[in-house]
Structure 1
Amino acid sequence: MTTMGEKRVSEAVQVTCAQCGTTAEDVPLTWISSVERGRTLYYCDRCARDNLRSIEARLDQAWW
Structure 2
Amino acid sequence: MDEETHPPEQPAEGSAEGSTVCARCGTVAEGDTVPVTWLSAVEDGRRLHFCESCARLHIRAIESRLDSLWW
TM over 0.5: yes
Instruction: Give the number of aligned pairs.
Output: 53
Q: Which has the higher strand share?
A: 1
TM-score, scaled to structure 2: 0.70
Distance in structure 2 (CA, Å) of the matches to 1:62 and 1:42: 14
Q: Which runs of 5+ in 1 are unaligned?
A: 1-12
Report whether the alignment pairs 1:18 with 2:50: no
In percent, how many aligned pairs have the same letter?
54
TM-score, scaled to structure 1: 0.77
Distance in structure 2 (CA, Å) of the matches to 1:43 and 1:63: 14
Higher alpha-carbon Rg: 1
Q: Which runs of 5+ in 2 are unaligned?
A: 1-17
Match of 1:27 among 31, 34, 59: 34
**Correspondence list, 1:1-64, <5 A:** 13-24=18-29, 25=31, 26-64=33-71
Distance in structure 2 (CA, Å) of the matches to 1:38 and 1:62: 14
Moved over 2 A (4+): none
Alignment RMSD? 1.4
